[in-house]
Every structure is written in C-alpha cells, then in structure tokens.
Amino acid sequence: MIIEYNGSIFCAAGFRAVTIRAEADRISAGMARVTKVTLINGEVPGYGMSRTGARRQEYNGHNVAQREIGARKRISSCTIIEEVTA
C-alpha cells in the first residue's frame, strides 16, 4: 500500500513539519510498516533538500528516508493513497 503521513525533520532553523509518502506493508488491521520512502514534501529524497529554498531550512532527505524505513505507522493517522490487494 502507499500511504502519506506527517513527519518532522531537524534543520538549522529547528524542527519543521514535512509530508512523507511511502510504500508500506500492512502488519495488522490497524498498523503498517514503512518499506520505502518515495516522496518528502513532493520531492524525491536527496541530500540538499530544503522546505523553502533557504539554506537555514536545508536537511538531508536521504537520512530522513533511511530513518523512516521500518517505522510502524497507525493506519488511522495516515492517508491511504493506494491499497494493493494480493
């Protein structure tokens, strides 16, 4: 399944909210485990990402994506973009 949820990143300006879109596997009726992060704020994860274009808002998108892999997310707090049934 593909889910979208709110997360946070740390940059020079402090903690900032981002929207993360990820592929996840359902592990129970109400929980999912993230397997791959596809987008952070609508962009593919990269090294010099910035929320607004300012240097003080820059963060490492690869680090954020690696940190999210394996995270357990409550499905009720996520937006399901695509449900894949096998």
Decide: 23 and 35 in contact? Cβ < 8 Å.
yes
* CA distance linking residue 38 with residue 42, whole number of Å: 9
CA–CA dist 67, 37 (Å, integer): 10
Are 7 and 14 spatial neighbours (Cβ–Cβ below 8 Å)? Answer: no
Structural domain count, the chain: 1
DSSP conformation letters of 51-77 = SSS-GGGEE-HHHHHHHHTT-EEEGGG
Domain that holds residue 59: 2-82
pLDDT tens per residue across span 21-74: 999 999 999 999 999 999 999 999 999 999 888 999 999 999 999 999 999 999
The answer to whether the pTM exceeds 0.75 is yes
